[in-house]
A and B are shown apart, each in its own frame.
Chain A
Amino acid sequence: MGNQIAEADKKSHLQHHFVDSDQQFESSKLGMWIFLVTEVLMFGGLFVAYIIYRSWHPDLFYLAAKELDTALGATNTVVLIASSLTIALAIRAVQLDKIRSAINYMAATVALAGTFMVIKYFEYTDKFAKGIFPGAGYTYDGIDHDMAANFFSIYYMMTGLHGIHVVIGMGLITWMIIKAKKGFVHSGYYTPVENTGLFWHLVDIIWIFLFPLLYLID
C-alpha cells in the first residue's frame, strides 16, 4: 500500500467518489479478490463434477489418464509457474517505477502464456486426430471402458475453460503493456497491474490443480 507520492500526482487517477488513493486502491483490490472468489467457485463446480465422476468410476480415470501426455502437461506446468514469476516481477518493477523492465517482464509473461497455448494446441490436435472428441463425437477405441467419452468431456471442459482464462489473461496483460507504455501506471498507481497479476496467479493455481488431477492418476 505504498502510495506515498506527491498530492498532485495522486489526484489524477483518483475517481471523484473516492476520498483518497488509499481508499481507491483498497476498494479495487477487495473487488478483485471477490471476483477471484467467484472464479474459484465456478471452477469449483467442475471440480465437484470431477470428484463425483471419479468416485463413481475410479477405473475409468485410471485408464483414460494414461492417454494424456504427462510430459507436455509437466512442461506446461513449468511454463505457467515461470509466467507467474515474471508477472510478479513486473508488478515489483512498476512499484519501483522501472517501467521499461516491467514492460519486458509482462511481454515475457504473454510469451510464456502463448507457449502454454501452443502446447495445449498440440495436445488437443493430437487427441482430435485419434478421434477423441468431447461427448457424442468420441470415436477412439483405445480405452477399454464404455464411459471413456465422459472422462474426456470433463477433461475438455476443465482445460477448455482454463484455456479461455489464459487467453483472457493474455489480453489483460497486453492491455497493461499498452497502459505502461503510455505512462498510465507507475509507482503511484499500479492497481490495474496488480489486479491483472492476481488474476494471472489464479489462472496458474487452477492449472496446478488440474495437472495432477487429470494427468497424474495412479
Chain B
Amino acid sequence: MKSVIAENLVKTYRKGEVKALDGLSLDVEEGTVLGVLGPNGAGKTTTVRILATLLKPDSGHATVAGIDVIKHPDKVREQIGLSGQYAAVDETLTGWDNLVMFGRLYHLGRQSSIDRANELIERFDLTEAARRPIKTYSGGMRRRLDLAASLIVKPKILFLDEPTTGLDPRGRQDMWGVIQELVKGGVTLLLTTQYLEEADQLADEIAVIDRGTVIARGTSDSLKKQVGGERLEITVEPADLDKANEIVAKISGHATHVDLRTVSAPVLHGSKDLMEALRAMDEAKIHPLDIGLKRPSLDDVFLSLTGHVAEETVVEPIGKKKRGAKK
C-alpha cells in the first residue's frame, strides 16, 4: 500500500513567475523511506509543505495515508509528523516545556503529556539539557528536540525536510542514528536532502528532483548503475588539464567531466585502465596531484541526469567512497 501519493503537483510563486513544482509525482510505499534528493530550489520544501497540508498546490492531487490533503487537511494532520529545516520550537522555553506543550496540543492529557515528554527526552539523549531554554542548545540538540516534537503521538507517516542541513559531521551522524532507529520502528518516512550521502545512507528508494520535477527514481544501486561502473579521476595542475583530459578521454571512450583541476570519466576495466592512465601520464611528463578510481556516487548520478552538479557549495559528504592511489 502507498502511504503517500503525489500526482502532477504544480506550484508557482509570484503570480507564475517562479515555478517551484512543475508536475511533480512521487509515492512512498508503507513502511519504507523515500529520499527526495535535489539541490536548493529544486522544490523539495514545497513538496513537503504541500504533503504536510501547509500549502495548497496550484494543481495536482495528493493523498497521505489515503486521505486527500487538499480536501481533508485536518484528518491528514492527525496522521503525520513534520520536522523542518529549522528547529520550529519556542526558543525561550525549555526542551521539556516545548514537548509538554506539543503533547497538550495533540490533546494528550496533562499527565500523558508529561510522561511522553520525559520518554522522548530520554530517548533522544537530551536529559541534561531538558530544563534549559532551547536558546542554549547546539544545532544538533535543537534538531533532535524538533524531531522529538514531531513524534509525540507516534505518527505513522513522517516528513523530515533536510534534517541535517547546517549540522556539523558529528551532529549529522547522531541524527542519522536517530532516524535509522525510527525507521526500524516501522514508520513511513519521506526525507528531503541535498546531501547525496544522506539519501544513500537512509533511503530505501530515492527520487532525484530538479527544477520542480522528478527526473529519476529507484534504489541507490539502480541509480548508480545508470552511470555505469567505476570512474577514472585525475587531478592535475591547471596547466596540464587539457593534456590530462585527452588521456582520460582516450582510455574511457566516453565523455569526460572537467572541473577546475579534475578530469573524470567512466572506465570499464578498473585497475587496468588506471595503470594505463599512469603510464600515459608518465610519458606525457604530467605529475598528477591525485589519481584514482571512484565508484559512482550519487553525485555522479545527479551529474549525469541533470548535466550540472548537485550543489556548488555542498559540504564534502562524510566517508566518501573512494579508493585508489594517493600521491
- Same complex origin of A and B: no
Please list the residues of chain A having a beta carbon within 8 angstroms of any beta carbon in chain B.
Answer: none
Please list the residues of chain B having a beta carbon within 8 angstroms of any beta carbon in chain A.
Answer: none
